[in-house]
Amino acid sequence: MSTKASHPLHGFFITGTDTEIGKTCITAGLTRAFDGLGRYVTPIKSLAAGQTQTADGVWVNEDVALLHAAQTQGMTMDEVGPLQFREPCAPHIAAKLEGRAIDRTALLAAIRRSASKGDFALIEGVGGFRVPLTDDWDTADLAVDLAMPVVLVVGLRLGCINHALLTAEAVLARGLRLAGWVANTADPHQPHVADNLAALHARLDQGLSVPCWGHVPRLPDPSPAAVAAHLQQPLLLNALKA
């Protein structure tokens, strides 16, 4: 039985070349940028593993909190992060540690409920493109189930060209459209940034016709507005028309 709903979601699925490469910062920046273009944006962290407890005893995931702060649709933290776990590890391991199951149908339904708060959803994956969720379902399957165009966040660090090309290949192999990519300076000491970007542009922009939506440098305060300032508004407008 298909898990796809009868109506498509408007927006993008955000994936990355690896974990800890700034997907959430970029998603928050895209939230602010598309909001500025007149969209009612719902940023959603599909799954989140790793929570800390506040002084009030509330368990909070850092990524969910960042996306919650970026949105303006009155979403709750649970709507932004519909499935959260305490342990900062792979989701299927975190679920096992808590004695919980990741239910495909329930998660997709929760994501769609959150997306309904606005007219344009930015749904962020977890880790890279193929992170296990259950024995027979991973984040690539999640992207297929949601049937949304994909945006690739490329963390600029050693190995980024290989990781970006492998991920782009995997996205296209699933029959998904790769709508754009964003370069994010994950390693502040990464050498030869210009040469790395040139190689990525040649292979993604020119080779695959996937436009670069922007290059975000290392920012002292990577707020949504600061990140949005480094995204190319004309390309985002083109993406909305595609």
- Cβ 129 vs Cβ 15: under 8 Å: yes
pLDDT band at 242 (very low <50, low <70, confident <90, very high): confident
Determine the pLDDT at residue 5. 44
- Kindly tell me if the per-residue pLDDT of 2 is higher than 90: no
Q: Residue 116's closest CA among 68, 63, 47, 44?
A: 44
- Dmax over Cα atoms in the chain, in whole Å? 52
* 84 CB-near residues (< 8 Å, 6+ apart): 47, 48, 49, 51, 59, 61, 64
Active site (annotated) includes residue 96: no
- Kindly tell me if the per-residue pLDDT of 182 is higher than 90: yes
Determine the pLDDT at residue 114. 98
Average pLDDT over residues 106-112: 98
117: how many CB neighbours lie within 10 A of its CB? Answer: 18
pTM above 0.75, yes or no: yes
Is residue 79 classed as helix, strand or coil in its secondary structure? helix
**Residue 130 β-bridge partners:** none
Burial category of 237 from C-beta neighbours within 10 Å (exposed 0-12, middle 13-18, buried 19 and up): exposed
CA 148 to the chain's CA centroid: 12
Cα 93 from Cα 100, distance rounded (Å): 10
Among residues 4, 23, 45, 96, the one annotated as catalytic is: 45
- Kindly tell me if the per-residue pLDDT of 1 is higher than 70: no
- Cβ 12 vs Cβ 150: under 8 Å: yes
Q: Give me the chain's average pLDDT, please.
A: 95
Is residue 217 classed as helix, strand or coil in its secondary structure? coil
